[in-house]
Structure 1
Amino acid sequence: MKEGTTGGIKKAKMKKESEKKEDKNMIDDAILLMDNYGPDSQALHTSLKLAGFDCPAVVLEDDGFLPEDVISVYGFFLGDFRAAMGAKARPKYFNEITVPEYWEISGTNSGGKVQDLYRERGKIFYAEPKHRRLVKVVDWYDEKGVVRSSDHYNRYGALWGRTIFNSRGQKVNRTYFAADGREIIVENFVTGDIILNEDGEVRIFRNKTEFALHFLVRGHFKQSRIFFNSLSTPFFISNRLSSQVKRDILFWQEPITNEIPGNMQVIFRGEASRTATVVVQKKDTYDRLTALGAPKNMVQKLGFLYPFEKENAHRPEALICTNSDRIEHCEELVKALPQMHFHIAALTEMSSKLTGMDRYDNVSLYPGVKTAVLDELFETCDYYFDINHESEIVSAVRRAFLHNHLIFAFQETVHSEDFMAAEHIFPASEWEQMRTCAEAAMADTKVLRKMLQKQKKAALAESVESYRSLGNGKTAK
């Protein structure tokens, strides 16, 4: 090989490595700004972390139970609760809230209440997962049964906020407390004003956008690139900042109906100060946007990087999680698939209708299932049947997806369609097609793998390279 050629290859490699480092720095210089830390926000944050990017996650709405690596705009000014509370820093159990003498606290796996003899005085709301009965909010009622205040507790068991309501049950204001009980922030829901007590000074902000902009300054994020997933306050914040290059990105995770949202049209018309790219994270929404005429050079489709827990081991073990005995065609499927073992788990006790299923050799029941047992079931099962009516428990479909279960559902019972292939969702009247599909997967490993690939494709499972491309110039001046 000629010397010149060797030198050219070496220079090309050095250039490529330099570009990679530059792309990564563009992401590392960004912050992820979100209204709240819901499932889609969590999925985006996780994807960026799995791609290897150190991208601080910031939320505007704090529920008191944010992960340690998520920053709250309000919590930033309240101080370090964990350090302040020391050994006492743990979530408050439902029967640990303070109530007047002789008042009674009671609770179930879905919520709790406070009673004075036969009168209900308060309602307790739990943090997820609810069956752990950890207090997030307590509503207090007046003599007429109207909510007049809400106490907000955090993951350290501290009272960090109190919301006041008027006589019609409408929110008036919320006070945020530091770990030592001092009032730090007061938010007026009527006027929109936010008052901040900071370093001995009182600062007044006209709205949440101004307050968040002050946070960006105090947190040294004002020059950062902003990734955001909402066209409300996060977009307003991005639009208030100036930049010579449009490098902020909107990650759109909501459905689109008959028209493109107004603020998204602002981006497409080139009128947004820092945003020129919309990344759509749901396939149906992407198709709808393009059909409505969204400019293709400003829209791209990008799903999520998923932290899969295990590979599918092709075991004929199926899981159903339910708190209801209304499980669509359960008995028919159990009898039609004798080679499949069905594990039915509930956080509550089971009715006689459900316990009667124990007469089948290929059924195991887990009433009042413990967390450790449920974790083991997700590990040992390779199929999940989303066929229970009523609400979903323990985010079961998402957990099944992350454990590489092949997921089946009925149209009448489906809970989280984003994690399923459309071909694996059947009308209840055609339950036998579900049976046939399950039989085909159990009979042939190749068929099972193809079905799992369809499932991942439907969920827009992405590669690390797809996320790294966010820094490669998908921006506009």
Structure 2
Amino acid sequence: MLNLFDDWQRGSIDLVRSQKIAGIKVPTVVINDDGFLPAEVDSPIKQYRKQTGEPLYFDQVQVPRFWQIKGDASGAQVYDLNAKRAEIRFFKNDNTRFVKQVEWLNATGELQWIDQYDQHGQRFAKTFYAKGQAKLKQYYDAAKNVVIDHHLTTDDIFLYIGGRQRHFANWLELTANFLQKSDYQLDHIIYNTLNQAFFTTLKLPNKNASDVLVWQEGLGDELPGNMRFIFENQTRTKQIWMQNHQAWVQYQEKFAKPVDADSQSMDVKVQQLGTIYPHPRGNQMRPAILIMTNSDQIEMLSVLAARLKNFDFHVAALTEMSEKLLQIGEQANVHLYPAVSFAKAKQLMADCDIYLDINRGDQIMDAVRAAFENNQLILGFNDTLHLPELVAPDNRYDETQLDAMIEKILLAMVKPAVMEQLIDSQREFAGDAKVETYQKRFNELRS
């Protein structure tokens, strides 16, 4: 059994974490390695890199003499006098300032190449550009030798290993070759997209295989084309597990019958799975509201604080705060935390029971997810939500519905049964699953 993912993104992380919480051990391979995969997660190129060293801090990037590096919490730039010569991208916007990639520019500001770094501070890949188009991506081993040339215009790949050259038509062929030469058991592949991972399974032997598509997205008026392909053809995929609760409901209502009476759709079993979220605590109904932001654009904050005088509003940011926020902070029940530390942010998450997702700009510290896992009641405006999949529809408002938002906050705070029902609905909407469900699904798959 093997997890096979296109990327190490939120859905992949959630699925692996759910497996671990349920006591299910499944090795994981990620096709597109960004250099910051966990130690236990493998990839087709990870074997060529030395797994030691610390991440590269932004001011450690090698630049020509007299050039300068200027940076803040969101990113950094390299300057030759007043001319910008490179853009430094960070792995996270959490103020750690570890380098993920450096985009080098020529004297006219045109992108020339991108150096990609891993979590050990090694430059493991370089992408060359011409007239704004990516042409060639090279991957390096620990000794800085080129091990892979990926010609991006044709998708051709050349692997150089043991003094020999081998050609692959694309990255999927390289991945399939890597998997078949590995020690991984390929009888059950768990994958979560209908893109690279799915097409890779089609390149693997079909005999005695029983793969699972874990569907983490919503569904439209029609099934996705590649999902229909699974229903209508004999592939390795024998089951589809729906993690998205709304997709599961919609599937039952619209697609539960065979797609075509003459198809093989009955051979594919569709079941609900969900996601196991850790919940370190329950909602304690304290009149403490949390907002985490990277901007001063927090909708209706002053009005909310004025109308909910018995509530404390805790507003935290990674950076210093603007004069606009400082003025709002003069209201007696508004408490500001500029340049908040991780320890303080964690404490605020534990001390507050309502989260307002009402700030514009990027989310910081995965705040909405943290609020959900801490069973805070999450409310927000329709155009400010950062993770709508974790916010129940009844807790989303237009800015003209401020009265309704305030009424819900007050009602939830004085009636325990209402708060309990709101948290239950929030968790149901997010597809919060039980350990027993995971254990049952995986035990059935192995049997």
Q: Place the TM-score, normalised by the shorter chain, in its bin.
A: over 0.9
Q: Which residue in the other structure is 2:378 paired with?
A: 407
8 Å CA contact retained: 1:304, 1:462? yes
Q: Which residue in the other structure is 2:438 paired with?
A: 467
Unpaired runs of 5+ residues, structure 2, are: 259-265
Q: Which residue in the other structure is 2:5 paired with?
A: 34
TM-score, normalised to structure 1, is: 0.87
CA distance in 2, matches of 1:289, 1:257: 10
Q: Which has the larger radius of gyration?
A: 1
Q: Which residue in the other structure is 1:172 paired with?
A: 135
Aligned length: 438
CA distance in 1, matches of 2:439, 2:244: 19
Q: Which residue in the other structure is 1:283 paired with?
A: 245
Tell me if 1:239 matches 2:202.
Answer: yes
8 Å CA contact retained: 2:31, 2:44? yes
AA in 2 matched with 1:282: N
AA in 2 matched with 1:442: M
Tell me if 1:209 matches 2:209.
Answer: no
Alignment of 1:148-159 (within 5 A): 148-159=112-123
Q: Which residue in the other structure is 1:385 paired with?
A: 356
Unpaired runs of 5+ residues, structure 1, are: 1-29, 83-88
Tell me if 1:93 matches 2:57.
Answer: yes
Alignment of 1:184-199 (within 5 A): 184-199=147-162
Tell me if 1:316 matches 2:281.
Answer: no
Q: Which residue in the other structure is 2:146 paired with?
A: 183
AA in 2 matched with 1:333: L
Residues 252-308 of structure 1: CA deviation (Å, up to 9, x unaligned): 223333432222111111x14211222222233334445553547632222101122
Tell me if 1:129 matches 2:98.
Answer: no
8 Å CA contact retained: 1:240, 1:273? no
Counterpart secondary structure, 1:359: coil
CA distance in 1, matches of 2:426, 2:442: 28
8 Å CA contact retained: 2:329, 2:335? yes
Q: Which residue in the other structure is 1:425 paired with?
A: 396
TM-score, normalised to structure 2, is: 0.93
8 Å CA contact retained: 1:268, 1:295? no
Counterpart secondary structure, 1:191: coil
Q: Which residue in the other structure is 1:329 paired with?
A: 300
AA in 1 matched with 2:303: E
Closer/same/farther in 2, CA of residues 294 and 120 from structure 1, 3 Å limit: farther
AA in 2 matched with 1:451: L
Aligned-residue identity in percent: 34
Q: What is the deviation of 1:134?
A: 0.9
AA in 1 matched with 2:439: R
Tell me if 1:68 matches 2:36.
Answer: no
Closer/same/farther in 2, CA of residues 129 and 307 from structure 1, 3 Å limit: farther
Alignment of 1:300-379 (within 5 A): 300-379=271-350
Counterpart secondary structure, 1:285: helix
Bigger share in helix: 1
AA in 1 matched with 2:110: V
Tell me if 1:455 matches 2:426.
Answer: yes
Q: What is the deviation of 1:158?
A: 1.0
Closer/same/farther in 2, CA of residues 337 and 439 from structure 1, 3 Å limit: same
Q: What is the deviation of 1:332?
A: 1.6
CA distance in 1, matches of 2:425, 2:208: 39
8 Å CA contact retained: 1:241, 1:273? no
Counterpart secondary structure, 2:329: helix
Q: What is the deviation of 1:391?
A: 2.2
Q: Which residue in the other structure is 1:12 paired with?
A: none
Tell me if 1:109 matches 2:79.
Answer: no
CA distance in 1, matches of 2:120, 2:287: 42
CA distance in 2, matches of 1:223, 1:39: 24
Counterpart secondary structure, 1:221: coil
Residues 181-214 of structure 1: CA deviation (Å, up to 9, x unaligned): 1222221112212222233432221111211112
